[in-house]
Chain A
Amino acid sequence: MAQMTMIQAITDALRTELKNDPNVLVFGEDVGVNGGVFRATEGLQKEFGEERVFDTPLAESGIGGLSIGLALQGYRPVPEIQFFGFVFEVMDSIAGQMARMRYRSGGTYTSPITIRSPFGGGVHTPEMHADSLEGMVAQQPGLKVVIPSTPYDAKGLLISSIRDNDPVIFLEHMKLYRSFRQEVPEEEYTIPLGKAEVKREGKDLSIITYGAMVHESLKAAEELEKEGHSVEVIDLRTVMPFDVDTIIASVEKTGRAMVVQEAQKQAGIASQIVAEINDRAILSLEAPVLRVAAPDTVYPFSQAETVWLPNYKDVIETAKKVLEF
């Protein structure tokens, strides 16, 4: 075991898969000799060579097309989109092409592609770097969308994503890259996609969340504990397909639930989770399922992040509304 930050765990997962499978290719803007703008691919080109880890021209759509074409030749591409705000440039390759490849060819061709991309607020990035756009990709049939919140999860989920024979969008929250260390096994291990984890057990309220909001929710749960409330925190880890069984089991136990996301209220995936709870566990509910989400404006100018981004205080406030309904 080693103490790793999330970014180190990601590099470790990439190294593991580059070693395991000669078809794995890592490419994108500045991921080669530079080791990535966040050092996620640090040292990989040196270790595996330019044939396996390489830079591309500055064009996201081209990177998407390159991935699809390489997959058609039997490779297992792991491209990087430098910031997920730039996904709009490559939406066709992702949603219009790779997500549909297996279906449109009746299973003849597949897209075993893992797109890595950083996102998320709290680090004062410039425009279009921090936007939470997971909701957009979660609505595309054919994709899977994974968002880890810890170094341990990041490694196991990334290895699973790369080995998956269908396209996976792997979103890495920038604020979580180096914010804490965790014990991460040095050997390979996998975490199944589509499986949530109960990060904290509780009896009175279920908080369903993902990404940086997992930590805000855990912090809120600690505060609420002091006031006598026992809060369960579920980290979805995969937001598409999400783990409805774990969610429903928790809601049936606690009778109260809320969903916490960093994205705007009209975006993200919270509403989908509320709908599933309403469909499947309405008779267990003591109160409506409320959401914590950002205001429905464009992502804030960097100085306004602190007043705009949801945090543990918002979680506490909404939790009390649900608990005291």
Chain B
Amino acid sequence: MASKTKNNSADAMKQLEKIESQYEMFQILNEEGEVVNEAAMPELSDEQLQELMKRMVYTRILDQRSISLNRQGRLGFYAPTAGQEASQLASQFALEKEDFILPGYRDVPQMIWHGLPLTQAFLFSRGHFKGNQIPEGVNVISPQIIIGAQYVQAAGVALGMKKRGTKAVAVTYTGDGGSSQGDFYEGINFAGAFKAPAIFFVQNNRFAISTPVEKQTAAKTIAQKAVAAGIPGIQVDGMDALAVYAVTLEARKRAINGEGPTLIETMTYRYGPHTMAGDDPTRYRTADLDNEWEKKDPLVRFRKFLEKKELWTEEMENETIERAKEDIKKAIKEADDTPKQKVTDLMSIMYEEMPNYLKEQYEIYKEKESK
């Protein structure tokens, strides 16, 4: 009996190693911008490669300006994105207009590149309902604050698409901390059980506020959590735009072919604080770690790659930066010009038809507002 028990425990450890060995990080570009996986190279035209770089540069500027505008009190809630451009934008770049994005609170850039006007992104930050009135035909929903909720909802959107027979996918994002939530598991498990066309991203930037990923789970990768749902999982270099693009495109293809969902873990880093609401990363992150990840900057490596192909110049970079700054200035102005919210506005968007008690309160506030 004793020896049998021993064998069993040895097998269990082997089992774990075997599972972990299946989740090696997928990479196409190394830190020097060299192609290390030619076979996996996605088919992108020169123009598409340039466009992807422009979006990453633009978004880096957007982050810098947003932090500054937040410090001036001209923006409200803001979760910095610098460092995650490849993870956020190369994944969105692989989507089609019909695809529906359910973002987390840090995923405003994906919404913008999917069609949300910048002005509205700023109104969301400030806390104005008009920021969340998504234009017709833009398939996104406002950033989810309840970590994990977007995952179970994505399973529903994906099932809806499958039932409608649309060739589209539901795409959602959470962070490494979010992978500890019940809704994370329920979301991927439901999508798996219904074989629904969903792509679940975990942007593993190593920290949930101050808590390192090692304190979230003993699992060596988050991608392997896909095993619990019986769906494919992949860990990708989230600082590598081409790798992120390639795995997203692949997951999308599988999904629209009726083969079900995929979990994608992007290994990334946020250079800034968790949010602009007083978080100080020097309390929990070392300068060494920051330096190590700065060398992996997705912009640096993609720039090197494009320069070698003679597809990127300083002029193009500056042009993009100027355009971003101008757009941001204009959008902030538009946000400033948006009429202030009234209580009667908030009442009007509660129900299709106001219940009796709200009608009463509406009259009271209408009277107050007329003075």
Contacts and interface: CB of A to CB of B under 8 A. Distances in A.
B153 A72 contact: yes
Given A96-B146, A103-B346, A106-B129, A69 B356 contact: no
B364 to A, nearest CB: 13
A243 B230 CA distance: 50
A65 B156 contact: yes
Contacts of B351: 102, 142, 166
Interface footprint category on B: 35 or more
B134 A105 contact: yes
Interface string B141-174: 1100010010111111111110110000010000
Contacts of A61: 152, 182-183, 186
Given A61-B182, A73-B157, A141 B152 contact: no
Interface stretch (B72-80, B187-195, B211-219): B187-195
Interface string A75-115: 10000000000000000110011000011111111100000
9 contacts: A57-B186, A65-B149, A65-B155, A65-B190, A69-B157, A70-B160, A72-B153, A72-B156, A92-B146
Given A68-B156, A69-B170, A97 B149 contact: yes
A70 B198 CA distance: 13
B100 A59 contact: no
Which of B100, B152, B163 has the most A CB atoms < 10 Å from its CB?
B152
Interface string B41-78: 00000000000000000000000000000000000000
Contact of B141 (A51, A62, A72, A74): A72
Which 5 pairs show the lowest CB-CB distances between chains A and B?
Answer: A69-B156, A65-B152, A73-B160, A241-B355, A62-B186
Contact of A103 (B134, B152, B183, B349): B349
Contacts of A73: 156-157, 160-161, 163-164
B352 A97 contact: no
Interface of B: 100, 129-130, 132-134, 141-142, 146, 149, 151-161, 163-164, 170, 182-183, 186-187, 189-190, 193, 346, 349-352, 355-358
B160 A110 contact: no
Interface in A27-72: 51, 56-57, 59, 61-62, 64-72
A141 to B, nearest CB: 6
A62 B132 CA distance: 24
Nearest to B359: A241
Given A65-B149, A65-B156, A73-B163, 15 more contacts: A57-B186, A61-B182, A62-B186, A64-B152, A66-B190, A68-B153, A70-B163, A72-B153, A74-B160, A103-B346, A103-B349, A105-B133, A106-B129, A106-B132, A241-B357
A185 interface: no
B120 to A, nearest CB: 10
A59 B163 contact: no
Contact of B357 (A67, A97, A244): A244
A105 B157 contact: no
A79 to B, nearest CB: 10
Contact of A66 (B100, B152, B182): B152
Contact of A92 (B149, B164, B350): B149
A97 B351 CA distance: 14
B182 A69 contact: no
Contacts of B358: 241
Contact of A62 (B130, B190, B352): B190
A64 B155 CA distance: 11
A105 B132 CA distance: 5
A56 B193 CA distance: 8
A189 B108 CA distance: 46
Contacts of A194: 355-356
A13 B141 CA distance: 32
Contacts of B132: 104-106, 108
Contacts of A97: 146, 149, 153
A102 B349 contact: yes
A102 B350 contact: yes
B352 A70 contact: no
Interface residues of A, number: 42
Contacts of B151: 65
A164 B351 CA distance: 10
A103 B350 contact: yes
Nearest to A238: B355
A165 interface: yes
Given A57-B189, A57-B190, A104-B132, A62 B152 contact: yes
Contacts of A110: 352
A142 B350 contact: yes
Interface in A127-168: 141-142, 144, 164-166
Nearest to B129: A106
B356 A245 contact: yes
Contact of A165 (B134, B158, B352, B357): B352
B355 A72 contact: no
Contacts of B100: 72
Contacts of A66: 152, 155-156, 159, 190
Nearest to A194: B355
B312 to A, nearest CB: 38
A67 B152 CA distance: 9
Contacts of A103: 129, 346, 349-350
A251 B356 CA distance: 18
Nearest to B130: A106
Contact of B160 (A69, A96, A244): A69
B344 to A, nearest CB: 13
B183 to A, nearest CB: 6
Given A69-B154, A93-B152, A106 B349 contact: yes
A102 B164 CA distance: 23
